[in-house]
Structure 1
């Protein structure tokens, strides 16, 4: 990681993580693959907000780890998982997860973030 730049969120690139009081349900392949009332919502600079769902609230049997990875100078290395339902891949690299995030965003450790265009739906239901 010596060649990777590490940055700290600040006024020029703010990152805010907050508890989301709503229930979030994610469906893929016609079934629920995540259902949580313990969602964190990450707001980063001008990007759209992203829901991070604890792995305990994700049907891990519906995912396979892939070799794909990315790096964010504010959050660290992201691992990816594809949705696989009944032995059939629904979408590639459906979710990402920061398994060892930088301290500034440590709350998102062991959480999954879903690409909205790679699942059937992400529903946010009022509490």
Structure 2
């Protein structure tokens, strides 16, 4: 991959086949997608206009400006308002000229090759390692021990604090209240949540991946806590609460 940077924007090519679907129709299908880091945390896909079903797009007459990417013409996609941006020949980044950016959440399905992906494209510079450990991990919420384990699996993910995934048999499940919250991770899959107690501060503190993606199978059915919001003791030592976007 040959990276290009302009200010805070990084642009790279990818060899993956990438497809976008709306109402069962592929509105884009390419092996020439670009990965564009509009924010530092993860990239966004940009598609060559030649690989987009442009008849599905309708220009709104509006433009959207970015200091680094210039002006793009806003398009509706299959009736979905403002779901695509089309960059012309005057874009300051020559790599994105003649490319289309779709709003991720406005589309129904995204595929890398034949595997559906969620939330955002997988970042080629993000690594997830899941390691078994014999460390003693104890979790307190409001001074009450809700988990105590000598058999954690520690998940190390680039750019995020380590997460301690614990067997349910080491967790006070009687203190957990099922939540309706469901989230998706492009590296781990679909997560379900629990709250601790009735206070707002205890909402969605706990999660698990019942059927994670193949590369994260080691955490299947295990339970993790937001260390940013609970007290975690590792081998008897209280850990500093991480400073992250989840704090």
Give the TM-score range, shorter chain: 0.7 to 0.9
Alignment counterpart, residue 3 of structure 1, candidates 109, 117, 122: 109
| Corresponding residue number in structure 2 for 1:123 | 233
| Corresponding residue number in structure 1 for 2:190 | 77
| Corresponding residue number in structure 2 for 1:111 | 222
Q: Larger RCO: Structure 1 or Structure 2 (Cα < 8 Å, ≥ 6 residues apart)?
A: 1
Pairwise CA RMSD of aligned residues? 2.3
Q: Does residue 1:55 correspond to 2:173, yes or no?
A: no
Structure showing greater radius of gyration is 2
In structure 1, the gaps of 5 or more residues are none
Alignment counterpart, residue 31 of structure 1, candidates 118, 134, 144: 144
Q: Equivalent residue of 1:12, what SS?
A: coil
User: Per-residue displacement from partner, 1:72-110 (whole Å, max 9, x unpaired)?
Assistant: 0111011110012xxx44610011111110111101011
Summarize the Cα distance change of 1:72–1:42 in structure 2 as closer, same or farther, 3 Å threshold.
same
CA-CA distance at 1:11 after TM superposition: 5.7
| Corresponding residue number in structure 2 for 1:99 | 210
Inter-partner Cα distance in structure 2 for 1:42 and 1:6: 20
Inter-partner Cα distance in structure 1 for 2:206 and 2:140: 13
Q: Does residue 1:64 correspond to 2:180, yes or no?
A: no
| Corresponding residue number in structure 1 for 2:159 | 46
Q: Equivalent residue of 1:118, what SS?
A: coil
CA-CA distance at 1:12 after TM superposition: 2.3
